[in-house]
Amino acid sequence: MAAQSLYFGWLFVVFFCFKHNQCEPFQAPSYTIDLDLAPEERWLNITQKYLKFTPKILADMRKKIPPFVMPLAERLAPVIAEHFPEEYSREMMGISKGLNISLPDTIILNILYDITAFCTSIVAQGKDGSVFHGRNLDYAFSDTLRDITFISNFKSKGKVVYTGVTFAGQVGLLTAQRPNSVTISLDERDRGHIWDNVFEAIFNKNAIPVTFLIRDVVSTEGIDFTQAVKKLSEVSLIADGYLIVGGVQVGEGAVVTRNRESTADIWKLSEDAAKKPWYLVETNYDHWTTPPPSDDRRHPAEKALQKLTQAKLAPDSLFGVMSIHPVLNNKTVYTTIMQAKKADVFNTWIQKP
């Protein structure tokens, strides 16, 4: 009987450890996007690595779009693409080839990635003024996205110009960094039906996906925090959103709350590192309102930061804040920690909570 009890005891330990290891975050793969190549060729080799996931990607996309809308969406996609920068349209042509999907499907994927991700983003500064940026990306189809998430290092002439986190099939960036310049993450602002945003893309030729704007900002040579916030505040978008921005100097942290055509609010860190606010927590609700009890990630994150204290803020401790429940939840796809002033801090872990 004792031997049997011991056996079941060890069985429990092995099972528990296996389950624990399965839940550990792991390093996202990293690839180089050569900006010196023709746009059609930049993503080709990378997307071909994810070809086996194409059926899952398309199935998830069709779950998000009602069946009766899909034919209309496929017809409208090329019209929408005419408003996109030519470079991105050409990149999507290469992605279509790499994933073996139609160009309209690729365009629809990019629009969905742009406007349907729930997230938590934090920008905070230590007592010495060092600015850190953390983000969790949450999504309904987290299982699929965990399989197709990777770090993209955009290089030109052998040098990393900017870095982002991407899904196979995505041209724009939800999470991005330009070394010694800015860090940016996008959180969804849920205002209006998804198709309001699509029609905005059709009828407003000046409006672009938010993810394209983020990539435009981090690809701009010489851009600084102030210029980035200005550009993120002014360009017409196809969807509302929260743009969380970090810089390199004291006080260079902001949450830009966007309407499609205007900016609703710009919320900033204190320009004095010793004063409040030393952190900004943005989830998917206007910071001047109270999040619903059913989805309150803001207050747990704030309590964790207060417990941490400003003096102990660092990349690893910020990762710890991003890892508490419900900031980390079963829809979290990945966690990214970044710091514009020290570009090598940038890292992304796939989460399986």
Q: Which 3 state secondary structure label does DSSP give 228?
A: helix
User: pLDDT at position 175, please?
Assistant: 98
Q: For residues 337 and 326, what is the distance between their CA atoms, to the nearest angstrom?
A: 18
Predicted confidence at residue 185, as pLDDT, reads: 98
User: Are 138 and 56 in the same domain?
Assistant: no
Q: What is the DSSP letter of 343?
A: G
Alpha-carbon span 5 to 276, nearest angstrom: 56
pLDDT at 283: 97
pLDDT for res 125: 98
Same-domain pairing of 199 and 260: yes
pLDDT value of position 1 = 44
* Ordered DSSP codes for 271-315: SSTTSS--EEEE-SS-TTSPPPGGG--HHHHHHHHHHH-GGG--H
Same domain, 57 and 108: yes
Name residue, tokens 């590192």: 273
What are 307-313's contacts with CB under 8 Å, separation 24+? 310/124, 310/125, 310/126, 310/127, 310/278, 310/279, 311/126, 311/127, 313/124, 313/125, 313/126, 313/127, 313/130, 313/132
pLDDT of residue 2: 40
Supply the pLDDT for residue 101.
94
Amino acid in the structure at residue 93: M
- 61 inside domain: yes
pLDDT at position 202: 58
DSSP secondary structure string, 34-101? ETTS-HHHHTHHHHHHTGGGHHHHHHHHHHHS-TTTHHHHHHHHHHHHTTS-HHHHHHHHHHHHHHT-
Does 159 lie in the same domain as 67?
no
Final residue belonging to a domain, choices 85, 112, 139? 112
User: Could you read off the pLDDT of 126-140 as tens digits, one per residue?
Assistant: 999 999 999 999 998
Of the residues 119, 255, 256, 313, which is catalytic?
119
Q: Which of 29, 211, 204 is nearest to 116 (CA)?
A: 211
pLDDT, residue 19, reads: 40
Q: Determine the pLDDT at residue 64.
A: 81
Residue 21, in any domain of the structure: no
What is the number of domains present in the chain?
2
pLDDT score for 353 = 85
Q: Are 202 and 87 in a shared domain? A: no
Residues of the chain with pLDDT under 50: 1-22
Closest among 352, 183, 193 to 269, alpha carbons compared: 183
Q: Tell me, what's the pLDDT at 302?
A: 98
Please report the pLDDT score of residue 75 as a whole number.
Answer: 80
Instruction: Give the separation between CA 30 and CA 165, rounded to whole angstroms.
Output: 9
Residue-number span of the structural domain to which 262 is assigned: 117-288+295-350
Residue 119 a catalytic site member: yes
Choosing from 57, 78, 112, the residue where a domain stops is: 112
**Do 69 and 184 belong together in one domain?**
no
My answer on whether 158 and 200 are in the same domain is yes
